[in-house]
Structure 1
């Protein structure tokens, strides 16, 4: 579950980056921030689903 938390924090920081760069009208940075949100957001959702329904997350069995 720690991995999902880290992915979630990266996603939140990237969301803030999207809005900050939109205000600056820096479309190159907005593109990379949106891609970061998409990729890490997907990883966050899939990791949480795996931990809840797949029984994963600890791995030390």
Structure 2
């Protein structure tokens, strides 16, 4: 569960990085920060769902 929390924190920080990159019109940074946000967000959500489903069953 700690891993999911760390992934979620990284995703939140990447959201701020993506917004800052959009503001500065740095499109390469927008791509990488956006991809990182999606990747770590997906991993954190799926890890949380997996942990919850393993507790239930």
Over the aligned positions, Cα root-mean-square deviation in angstroms equals: 0.7
Runs of 4 or more off by more than 3 Å in structure 1?
Answer: none
Matched, 1:7 2:10: no
TM-score normalised by structure 1 residue count: 0.86
Structure 2: runs of 5+ lacking an equivalent:
none
Aligned length: 55
CA distance in 2, matches of 1:21, 1:37: 13
> Which ranges in structure 1 are unaligned for 5 or more consecutive residues?
56-61
Aligned mates of 1:44, 1:5 — CA distance in 2 = 7
When Rg is computed on C-alpha atoms for both structures, the one with the higher figure is: 1
